[in-house]
Amino acid sequence: MSISTAASSAVFAVYEPVIGLEVHIQLLTQSKIFCACSTRFGDPPNSNICPVCLGLPGALPVLNREAVTMALKAALALNCRINPRSRFARKNYFYPDLPKGYQISQYGEPLAEQGALEMDIGGASRSVGITRVHLEEDAGKSLHEGFPDSDEKSYIDLNRSGVPLIEIVSEPDLHSPDEAYQFLTRLKTLMLYLGVSDCNMEEGSLRCDANVSVRRRGAASLGTKTEVKNLNSFRFLQKALTFEIERQIEVLEGGGTIQQETRLWDSREQRTYGMRSKEFAHDYRYFPEPDLLPLLISESWKESIRRSLPELPHLRKARMMREYGLGEQEASQLTGSPALADYFEEVAKASGEARLSANWILGDLMFRLNERRQDITQTPVSAVALAELVSLIAEGTISGKMGKDILAEMFASGQRASQIMAEKGLQQISDAEEVGRVVRQVIAANPKQAEQYRRGKTATLSWLVGQVMKATRGRANPQVVQEALKKELGPSAPA
């Protein structure tokens, strides 16, 4: 099944996908939500545990104020209404990685509700509803693979037990896998700006489930939905949604009905599988957590957090367009993460060449980083070093072509542009006399082409420019070359 076929686009004219996302985001606190254990990732298994996060009898939870602050930042940035009073509840289920036999979460009275995330979809701005944002604790982790006796045993690491999460639930306002992808991207960018999470999907600090249904276009009621889990990368989210939407349409087209169920995305098989619905019948027997008081948020606390919010992505984008004369597309890309936006602003300020800086960052620099599967925080070329290169290009000391080679070298060796130029004797030749000498040699070596030009075939000029560039190994200033050629060749006129 493939969504790109002509047949499926016809089907899409009839059916409308309806998607809502449930996103779990790990908060960047130093300690867990109800105890003082560290939240550090990658520590030896079961080294960050205590009676509270092990759920030993008699241990009492104490709420981490920093976790609440971070959750409030997220909720306010998502334009939510903050409930002055919310409550924690016990969500009861049995699973080996859940030592207490229940998860402390928020249910009937969440921290925040009724927000919205603004998005640009197909050039039009649209608002996607946020149903709720609530706080909860993470469970531990079962390890089924990677041990010599993994065929007969599973292991459990409880370092993650009690790590603070926020769950963000969207309204079913998304209508294609691409929109869902964009929503999650936006949400991640926003959280990075707020500094409340690193949103690292590989380490599990951003996890996403999707509720998916389809209905005939124009229908008022929603179709039966399935919940798709195990979407632990942005690409899987898109693929799993595409598969699930097509699967549902096929069932309906074949006269069948959709079963409300939980389905798992299998990235190896590239398909979703239904889980036995009885096993996952949701009956969590929520009841208020008796060991925690209701969470009260005062107006003054809320307002002080609102005032502390950083410049958010859409505002930064607008400012950068205004301040640096960037296009919409460039500004969008450059504000994709706060680290990238900071990097750009540093290069632009140091070089005084905003547009050129943007071109080099979004072009060669990103290309090389992507090649190494790195992001801007891992770049071996500092903002100051790139600014130097950009200035050299802007002044005409080196050509764009040389700039590319030098940047490659800067990437490989970590050296500055000026060092590399000095070592390799690289300097753009702009001196008219020096260029003139090479131009005369090239004309002498190519009399036929020179004659063609003189007879009016002006296109030959760029071929001759190419020959001069070749002879100087790309170091000649192309503009000076062109002028020198015209001067030496004389007028071009039809015979």
- What are the residues binding Zn ion (CB under 5 A)? 35, 37, 50, 52-53
Cβ closest to Zn ion, residue 59 vs residue 394:
59
Q: Which of these, 245, 225, 241, 129, lies nearest to 180 by C-alpha position?
A: 241
CB of 69 to Zn ion, least distance (A): 20
Q: Give the nearest distance from C-beta 52 to Zn ion in angstroms.
A: 5
Q: How far apart are CB 31 and Zn ion at their closest, in Å?
A: 8
Residue 291 Cβ, how far from Zn ion at the closest point, in Å? 14
Name the amino acid, one letter, at 100.
K
Minimum distance from CB of 55 to Zn ion (Å)? 10
Q: Is 36 or 315 the residue whose CB approaches Zn ion more closely? A: 36
DSSP string, 323-374: HH---HHHHHHHTSSHHHHHHHHHHHHHHS-HHHHHHHIIIIIHHHHHHTT-
Taking the mean position of all CA atoms in its chain, how far away is CA 489?
A: 54
Nearer to Zn ion, 50 or 143 (CB): 50
Q: Are 212 and 248 in contact (CB under 8 A)?
A: yes
- Nearer CB in complex with Zn ion: 102/265: 102
**N-to-C CA span, the chain:** 63
Pick the closer one to Zn ion by CB: 55 or 380.
55
Nearer to Zn ion, 52 or 78 (CB): 52
Best CA proximity match to 161, nearest among 100, 94, 210: 100
What one-character-per-residue DSSP string does 333-346 give?
A: HHTSSHHHHHHHHH
What size, in residues, is the chain? 495
With a CB cutoff of 8 Å and minimum separation 6, the contacts of 434 are none
Report, in Å, the least distance between residue 48 CB and Zn ion: 7
Q: Residue 51 CB, nearest distance to Zn ion (Å)?
A: 7
Q: Which of 63, 204, 56 is nearest to 136 (CA)?
A: 63
Q: Is 90 or 475 the residue whose CB approaches Zn ion more closely?
A: 90
| Token reading at 220 | 């008022």
